[in-house]
Amino acid sequence: MGAMAQPADRTVHALLQSLFQNGVRHFVIAPGSRNTPITIAATAPGSPFKVWLHLDERSAGYFALGIARQTGEPVALTCTSGTAAANFVPAAVEARLSRIPLIFLTADRPPEARDVGASQTVDQVGIFSTHVKWAVDLPVADAGAIADLERYAATVGARAAAASLEAPAGPVHLNIPLREPLVDADSETLPFDLGAVEVRRSVAAPATPTPNEIARVASAVSGRRGVIICGPETNLPAAAITSLAKLLGWPVIADPLSGLRAGHHALDAIIDRADVLARERAFTDPATPKMTIRFGAQPLSKPLNTWLATLTDTTQIIVDPAVAVTGGWRDPDMRTSIAVAADPGAFCLRLLESLDAHSTARPEWLALWVEANAAARTALDAAIASLDEPFEGQAVVDLAGALTEGSTLVAGNSMPVRDIDSFFPTMDRAVRIVGTRGASGIDGVNSGAAGAAAVAAGPVALMIGDLSFLHDVNGLWPIRRHDLSLTVVLVNNDGGGIFSFLPQRTSMPARFEEWWGTPHGLDLSHAVVLHGGRHAILESGPTSGASAAIGDALQRPGLDVLELRTNRDRNVALHQQVWAAATEAVRHAVVAARA
Amino acid sequence: MGAMAQPADRTVHALLQSLFQNGVRHFVIAPGSRNTPITIAATAPGSPFKVWLHLDERSAGYFALGIARQTGEPVALTCTSGTAAANFVPAAVEARLSRIPLIFLTADRPPEARDVGASQTVDQVGIFSTHVKWAVDLPVADAGAIADLERYAATVGARAAAASLEAPAGPVHLNIPLREPLVDADSETLPFDLGAVEVRRSVAAPATPTPNEIARVASAVSGRRGVIICGPETNLPAAAITSLAKLLGWPVIADPLSGLRAGHHALDAIIDRADVLARERAFTDPATPKMTIRFGAQPLSKPLNTWLATLTDTTQIIVDPAVAVTGGWRDPDMRTSIAVAADPGAFCLRLLESLDAHSTARPEWLALWVEANAAARTALDAAIASLDEPFEGQAVVDLAGALTEGSTLVAGNSMPVRDIDSFFPTMDRAVRIVGTRGASGIDGVNSGAAGAAAVAAGPVALMIGDLSFLHDVNGLWPIRRHDLSLTVVLVNNDGGGIFSFLPQRTSMPARFEEWWGTPHGLDLSHAVVLHGGRHAILESGPTSGASAAIGDALQRPGLDVLELRTNRDRNVALHQQVWAAATEAVRHAVVAARA
């Protein structure tokens, strides 16, 4: 059969075989006619791929992103020609900035069908603009040069996989023009492996810092009062970072998406309430560091970032392998003094080798941070527990209590991820917390969670707001189709809750609700039932059993949506109330320690 | 108040005022923080805009497209920074190819916040690639040059409106960087009109053909056997085209989206069953024209296009004002002999002036077409009426019967628009039939229909398949929010019905259902209830009362979804059955006429 295959079949098979040989394991298909040869190859007898189906290309893009974020492997996805490809753009934008390896395989009409009014034919060359790392418009498979084209396709596959993985990881675009016929009598039985040439391309080892740079940094940080800041990033080396912190005697500010807030690394120096601490001048004055070293992107906390931006006498270091390339320099406040182009793990190991026991800061420094953090945490917990009405922060506490070892928590954008920052505690269980923080859009969040659920070994929870849930309601579809399990904590305040924190809520009261508050008025349980899920109202409060309800859902197969209904105005007031209690506790703790 | 406005406010107000002065009447807002100054201006006291809210930018893009398609006016739409802008790309792609004037106003972070890791900041410059006609990245409003910036913004507004309208109409992109603060104490009361300079730019008159070209065409067509072909296009000049046809004695093949199948123009030469006629060689042999003149894009009918592509001895003329620009040359079969760069209306008028009573072809020519068409129509009607099971074509007949004068029918892509081509009859009621045929995607169709419903004077119906309905379920949201009325005929065959017409249904039986048929398994009534609509099952058949049920729904406010449940395999068989009956009738009619 293989010998009878058409050139297009052989070329596409060679491309897909090369993708597999270079690390791609998951393949997402959005169905269509023009991408038929790609679908045939991906699902061929002997195909080594785990193949997923999705009916909405926008959601499919984020579903693939969720798989890639969870596995660290490049994920391939394909769609038919036309606006289908345009629907992949949002996920590409997110993948570029959040450094997720994706390989977009967009089927296209052949060149002679372009810009001549052919159906479902749009300009797909360059459709991802600067939002992919590499883009190729493949030649049409032609009988005249079959061996070379197979080698070319295998080479493109190898380069695509490598380009998607090499730091900073990100998306690539292969545009694949295909001529009819797209299927023939042999298609059904054509095996995956048509004996194409094998091309492998390895990814470079993690970038190491130069010895000179390490020596300079070691000299600068040794014995000084400093802070390690871990921002959003997949796969930061938690053990190496906490080892470095221990030797330096520094606290580690752990953004919830840094991977350092929960796990089996050393937790005693983890600061999980920096968002509160940074609000309180009685703390920030004595806690001003001489040095900071940041791994990952800028943290979520606005008070923290605002404070850090004021520290003009502090030497602020960022460590990132990609400072010189698009998306690599992540310092919007322009406070970086030294940008070290290095992999965080390699940097920590080299720096540890250059330091010794004399490098440790005086113990009062770490104690100041740890005690203030403990005071903030205790006060926040007490303030939340004392509320006798639904509070969105309580949902974070309930959810955190229900997450068992090996769980994944997907943090929705806008309010949920900020509430997770404020209220998710440090814990010694390996709980992976991820979010869509490249572009921080509210789109594609359900899909990313479904993608995580497709590959995660343990339970997967999503905490999401109502507008974001509604935006990507199609993202729920794969859960039933592919027998996935996902527990959603849906915080429903009927509109854009985060906008209530903006000045226009009070300065433009007549227009605020209509154009920013934007109540949608929907009973979202219908969306859950549409996609075959179970819906329940989540009772709020420490004695409500909410944590147990979430825990039970996490053990069940299928889709559970637990909805907490809240009020946007009250949400602002309650946040201010618990923050006030916490900052006051921090103030007392600092004063008591210094007395 | 106005004098106290910040530079950003004044610049944005000047821009929006200019958009209004240059013809923009509708403004669609997707809420956000960064686009706050744009939202404030659009909703300011005295704002002349009709402002619409949408919560999903992808759907908002198509909603705006639906308004612009219905009104012919440029529609402005705005979103916040980040992936929100990326979600506009599919609608831009469609608008470019279907020549719909849209003005995308994407709020952005200022230049210094770009590519430095700032939240919700992505590379928006060029994000629409070649899919907009004009793109500008505006300067940030700055206090130093306020008068010039206002004039600049007013000029950009005038150019944007003009560029979106000038033939071929299409989308433009204004990227608007904005610095904080985005709102101040005066924002609530700031009036729309801040006294900015007025800049108007008129759109060029429709392109006229040269006298030489008209003389050549007149000489070529006069007295010859020819066919006028009207493909998909908004606002073709039906009266002028049918006058030309009458003088030439030619039939007019009317694609359902040409606007010529229903209306108050002369209908006696309208051919509405070309899709059947082109299948029957007994007809096409004697009906082969010497000349064709096409207005609009390539017709939908594949049998028609396939036949036309074989006519190597026929002089095929296309008339289009945009043959020389992107998206303008619409002839994928490369059969055009003469491409006349002219507006269809101007072309018809000039050509009519150059012809006379001797220009008319012999009457047998038109009679052959009209009689065969009538035979096809009668046979199709009879074949459909004889079926005793649900048939998707019957839904078209039922729907057509229910559409009153002044109605709009939005044709969903994939099967519905093809069934409308096959089965929607010529009628002397002004029924506007529109579709998303630029890129022919199945996305955004509900939204386009909601946009039509937002501005149409009469009732609006949508005929759509289940996958397309599901893809854009968020497109239903504005119907309740803005008190719109829409009747949806939802043809649900639980998957991709059109794929059953592809060869892989029979050549790849083991894999077909899973990867092309793709049953979604959803009860779509839940989506209807989610969006506050009424759902009912549509009974099929001529005595079912389906037409009356659709008619009743069209008279009601709000959302009605009437769902016809069908079977994909049976759908192929039934189509083949009715086509066979119709082609046989055509064969008999031709033979009888020649006997």
CATH code for position B304:
3.40.50.1220
The pTM for the full model equals 0.97
Evaluate whether residue A190 is within a structural domain. no
Domain of A23, CATH number, reads 3.40.50.970
Which tokens hold the place of A235? Answer: 């796969």
Q: Does A46 touch chain B (CB under 8 A)?
A: no
Per-residue pLDDT tens digits for A342-379: 999 999 999 999 999 999 999 999 999 999 999 999 99
Q: Which residue of B has its CA nearest to A494?
A: B55
Taking 3-state DSSP, the helix, strand and coil percentages for chain B, each rounded to the nearest 5, stand at 45, 15, 40
Q: Do B502 and A116 touch (CB under 8 A)?
A: no
> Predicted confidence band at B4 (pLDDT cuts at 50, 70, 90)?
low
In angstroms, the separation between the Cα of residue B259 and the nearest Cα of chain A is 19
Per-residue pLDDT tens digits for B456-508: 999 999 999 999 999 999 999 999 999 999 999 999 999 999 999 999 999 99
Beta bridge partners of A432: A408
A395, A295, A411, A308: which is closest to A343 by C-alpha?
A295
Q: Do A440 and B120 touch (CB under 8 A)?
A: yes
> Predicted confidence band at A3 (pLDDT cuts at 50, 70, 90)?
very low
pLDDT, mean of residues A207-233: 96
How many angstroms separate the CA atoms of B470 and A354, rounded? Answer: 59
Same domain? A15 vs A135: yes
Quick check: A17 pLDDT over 80? yes
Instruction: List B residues 198-227 in contact with A (Cβ-Cβ < 8 A).
Output: none
Final residue of a structural domain among A156, A177, A198: A177
Quick check: B305 pLDDT over 60? yes
Domain count, chain B: 3
Same domain? B349 vs B438: no
Q: Do B90 and A86 touch (CB under 8 A)?
A: yes
How many angstroms separate the CA atoms of A117 and B438, rounded? Answer: 8
How many angstroms separate the CA atoms of B432 and B240, rounded? Answer: 18
Evaluate whether residue B289 is within a structural domain. yes
Q: Is B381 exposed, middle or buried (0-12, 13-18, 19+ CB in 10 A)?
A: middle
**B83, B129, B481, B515: best mutation site toward chain A, by most A Cβ within 10 Å?**
B83
Same domain? B365 vs B404: no
Q: Which residue of A has its CA nearest to B335?
A: A116
Q: Does A133 touch chain B (CB under 8 A)?
A: no
In this prediction, residue A594 carries a pLDDT of 79
| Average pLDDT in chain A | 95
Final residue of a structural domain among A124, A152, A177: A177
Q: Which residue of A has its CA nearest to B334?
A: A116
Beta bridge partners of A491: A465, A564
B467, B417, B472: which is closest to B444 by C-alpha?
B472
Q: Do A89 and B94 touch (CB under 8 A)?
A: no
Per-residue pLDDT tens digits for B23-59: 999 999 999 999 999 999 999 999 999 999 999 999 9
Give the contacts of A517 (CB within 8 A, at least 6 positions apart). Answer: A495, A496, A499, A500, A505, A568
Q: Does B86 touch chain A (CB under 8 A)?
A: yes
Final residue of a structural domain among B343, B373, B403: B373
Which strands form B171-177's sheet, in the order they lie side by side? B50-53, B26-29, B75-79, B102-108, B171-177, B134-137
**A55, A83, A184: best mutation site toward chain B, by most B Cβ within 10 Å?**
A83
Quick check: A542 pLDDT over 70? no
Q: Does A444 touch chain B (CB under 8 A)?
A: yes
B184, B178, B189: which is closest to A504 by C-alpha?
B184
**What does A73-93 look like in DSSP terms, one character per residue?**
S-EEEEE-SSHHHHTTHHHHH
Kindly state the percentage of chain B with pLDDT values over 70: 99
Same domain? B224 vs B173: no
Q: What is the DSSP letter of A548?
A: H
In this prediction, residue A4 carries a pLDDT of 62
Q: Does A108 touch chain B (CB under 8 A)?
A: no
In this prediction, residue B542 carries a pLDDT of 67
Which tokens hold the place of B107? Answer: 């709020």
Evaluate whether residue A378 is within a structural domain. no
> Predicted confidence band at B3 (pLDDT cuts at 50, 70, 90)?
very low
Query: Is A55 within 8 Å of B44 (Cβ atoms)?
Result: no
Per-residue pLDDT tens digits for A48-89: 999 999 999 999 999 999 999 999 999 999 999 999 999 999
Same domain? A18 vs A162: yes
**B35, B62, B122: best mutation site toward chain A, by most A Cβ within 10 Å?**
B122
Q: How many CA atoms lie within 13 A of A491 on its CB side?
A: 30
Q: Do A183 and B93 touch (CB under 8 A)?
A: no
How many angstroms separate the CA atoms of B553 and B545, rounded? Answer: 12
Evaluate whether residue B455 is within a structural domain. yes
Which tokens hold the place of A488? Answer: 């959603």
Quick check: A144 pLDDT over 80? no
In this prediction, residue B2 carries a pLDDT of 40
Same domain? B364 vs B481: no
Domain extent for A401: 391-566
Q: Do A526 and B522 touch (CB under 8 A)?
A: no
Same domain? B313 vs B429: no
In angstroms, the separation between the Cα of residue A504 and the nearest Cα of chain B is 7
Q: Which residues of A touch B468 (CB under 8 A)?
A: none
Per-residue pLDDT tens digits for A170-183: 999 999 999 999 99
Evaluate whether residue B379 is within a structural domain. no
Per-residue pLDDT tens digits for B413-423: 999 999 999 99
Quick check: A340 pLDDT over 90? yes
Q: What is the DSSP letter of B559?
A: E
Q: Does A90 touch chain B (CB under 8 A)?
A: yes
Q: Does B4 touch chain A (CB under 8 A)?
A: no
Q: Which residues of B touch A502 (CB under 8 A)?
A: 33, 36, 183
Quick check: B289 pLDDT over 50? yes
Q: Do B474 and A470 touch (CB under 8 A)?
A: yes
Quick check: B374 pLDDT over 70? yes
Q: Does B474 touch chain A (CB under 8 A)?
A: yes
Q: Do B515 and A31 touch (CB under 8 A)?
A: yes
In this prediction, residue A145 carries a pLDDT of 67
Q: Which residue of A has its CA nearest to B518?
A: A31
Instruction: List A residues 332-351 in contact with B (Cβ-Cβ < 8 A).
Output: 332, 334
Which strands form A408-411's sheet, in the order they lie side by side? A432-435, A408-411, A460-465, A485-492, A558-565, A534-537
Query: Is B68 within 8 Å of B42 (Cβ atoms)?
Result: no
Evaluate whether residue A467 is within a structural domain. yes
Q: Do A122 and B97 touch (CB under 8 A)?
A: yes
pLDDT, mean of residues B169-184: 95
Q: Does B477 touch chain A (CB under 8 A)?
A: yes
Q: Which residues of B touch A31 (CB under 8 A)?
A: 496, 499, 515-516, 518
Same domain? A29 vs A164: yes
Evaluate whether residue B576 is within a structural domain. no
Per-residue pLDDT tens digits for B543-571: 789 999 999 999 999 999 999 999 999 99
Q: Which residues of A touch B470 (CB under 8 A)?
A: 55-56, 474, 477
Q: Do B504 and A441 touch (CB under 8 A)?
A: no
Q: Which residues of B touch A467 (CB under 8 A)?
A: 55
Q: Do B509 and A183 touch (CB under 8 A)?
A: no
Quick check: B146 pLDDT over 80? no
Q: How far is CA A387 from the centre of its chain?
A: 32
Q: Which of A410-414, B25-29, B51-55, B329-333 has the lowest mean pLDDT?
A: B329-333
- How do strand A338-340 and strand A270-271 relate by DSSP bridges? unpaired
Q: Do A131 and B122 touch (CB under 8 A)?
A: yes
Same domain? A345 vs A234: yes
Quick check: B282 pLDDT over 70? yes
Evaluate whether residue B8 is within a structural domain. yes
Q: Does B558 touch chain A (CB under 8 A)?
A: no
Q: Which residues of A touch B473 (CB under 8 A)?
A: 473-474
Same domain? A172 vs A94: yes
A288 — alpha (psi -120 to 50), left (phi > 0) or beta? beta
> Predicted confidence band at A1 (pLDDT cuts at 50, 70, 90)?
very low
In this prediction, residue B291 carries a pLDDT of 97
Which tokens hold the place of B325? Answer: 């620009």
Same domain? B126 vs B253: no
In angstroms, the separation between the Cα of residue B226 and the nearest Cα of chain A is 23
Same domain? B50 vs B163: yes
Q: For chain A, what's the residue count?
A: 595
